[in-house]
Structure 1
């Protein structure tokens, strides 16, 4: 039996955590943003280690001139989105993007705290910079809206994550990070979270005053055509694609009155050229 004194103290702490999350407009998220940062850092280290061991992680500090050039152009695209004025945790999260050299995998994913991973298979598949910016904006939204940590609460349970948040289980955070390294790319968000990420991508891209704010819609149009085959892209297994998704993004763009003019593909073309895609 738990002593009443300890139970009361735990209830007060738990209540405080819920109150804190609610004040940050993150209903149901027990983790603080600092916990997001701590968890994301460990997850990213484990993901890096996993793909580095496979020889698939293209290191941002690589001595390879082509890899350096690729990151220069990719970071320009990412930073336009991040500097749109619409990313809530722009100055709080790490916001790093890394390339996984797997040309057969059409995917991208986001870890808590602003760690974004994109596969060369996705970059190769696309032919428009606005579409890549739309995918990146979508993944940035998952981190910025804290969908990643919210989904982890559902997948791993509040009790375990709460023990991490309270500092009562020092080994749990590293354990979760190690487990996630192999499964984060398969993290399945709710349809509500996917819709919010789509809608937010329109807001981010519109704020750039550079990219077509419905860029994500163009990506899904092409993805839908690819999905008609016998081997649907990996992205669809982790990002459910209801029939009205493209229509919803375009409708959001119309409601916001943002530009749908295509941006130049200069950085995207140089990115693909640097990666020999």
Structure 2
């Protein structure tokens, strides 16, 4: 049976205005950058609430010294990438990162508008700071290149998504938050979007002049090794497929850009892992 949805006239009017007036240079993105920010804020609040209720979200305002040290180390890694001079919406998006305490999950994700989340399982798993920087750069790219909102437009439709952005559809908001966080099937990006995120991870890391610009390739190599040893793919690979081809593509892109591929010190990663291990 077909289901027909009716929306208030104000939503239809706003949708029509966006269709006519959007001037974003990302093909297929109807949302404005401000709509990205509004949607991201709504989704981030829902994600925060979900993991706070489970006691898994590490509070950035905590007075616990190890939580403070963990965020200080993670922020230094993130900010090197954000301040590479290559992130298009560096000054428009809030670019926050929060830690979800779950050692069983090897995953990270970003909402539209640049709210990022990293599981402790992924942080503790990684052997090289360049790899973590590569993961963060990849997730930054999904937000910065507006892949997340583009895919959500396809999945939910512009009218529903506008309603969510304005706080008028709590049911769909919960579904989107769960989807982005990987507690459902995960947000399935197109092959082109994943390739672009990998390419931009090279660009962002290369702009730091600190991290190896092919850090994301090393991350996928480590995931491959774990899969071969354990026989089951990590959560990250369920939403980020085809690691072999992507390793080759990242390395080719690094060679093409001629950027630094020598590894950076692991000081911040080691401090981050040590702080988490004490919690």
- TM-score exceeds 0.5: yes
What do you get for the CA RMSD once the two structures are aligned?
Answer: 2.0
Corresponding position of 1:171 = 168
1:244 corresponds to? 245
Q: Tell me by how many angstroms 1:224 deviates.
A: 1.1
Question: 1:177-192 counterparts in 2 under 5 A?
Answer: 177-185=173-181, 186-192=186-192
Provide the C-alpha distance between the structure 2 equivalents of 1:211 and 1:20, rounded to a whole number of angstroms: 39
Q: Spell out, residue by residue over 1:249-271, the C-alpha distance to the aligned partner (whole angstroms, 9 max, x if none).
A: 01000110100011111111100
1:64 alignment counterpart:
64
Structure 1 residue ranges without an equivalent (≥5) = 1-5
Q: TM-score, normalised by structure 2?
A: 0.89
Match of 1:3 in 2: none
Corresponding residue number in structure 2 for 1:206: 206
Gaps of 5+ in 2: 1-8
Q: Deviations over 1:90-146 (max 9, x none)?
A: 001110000000000000001011000000000111010000000000001000011
Distance 1:45 1:276, change over 3 A: same
Q: Which residue of 2 aligns with 1:102?
A: 102
Report the alpha carbon displacement of residue 160 of structure 1 after superposing the two structures with TM: 2.2
Deviation at 1:175, TM superposition (A): 4.0
Taking the TM superposition and a 5 Å limit, the aligned residue runs for 1:79-118 are 79-118=79-118
Q: Equivalents in 2 of 1:271, 1:259: separation in Å?
A: 24
Aligned equivalents of 1:109, 1:62: Cα separation in 2: 22
TM-score, normalising length: structure 1: 0.90
Instruction: Tell me by how many angstroms 1:27 deviates.
Output: 1.0
Q: Which residue of 2 aligns with 1:275?
A: 276
Deviation at 1:176? 3.2
Spell out structure 1 runs of 4+ moving beyond 6 A: none
Name the structure 1 match of 2:232: 231
Q: Secondary structure at the match of 2:117?
A: strand
Q: Is the 8 A contact 2:57 2:100 kept in 1?
A: yes
C-alpha contact (below 8 Å) 2:164/2:173 kept by paired residues: no
1: CA distance between counterparts of 2:38 and 2:221? 36
CA shift, 1:154, in A, is 1.2
Q: What displacement does 1:16 show? A: 4.8
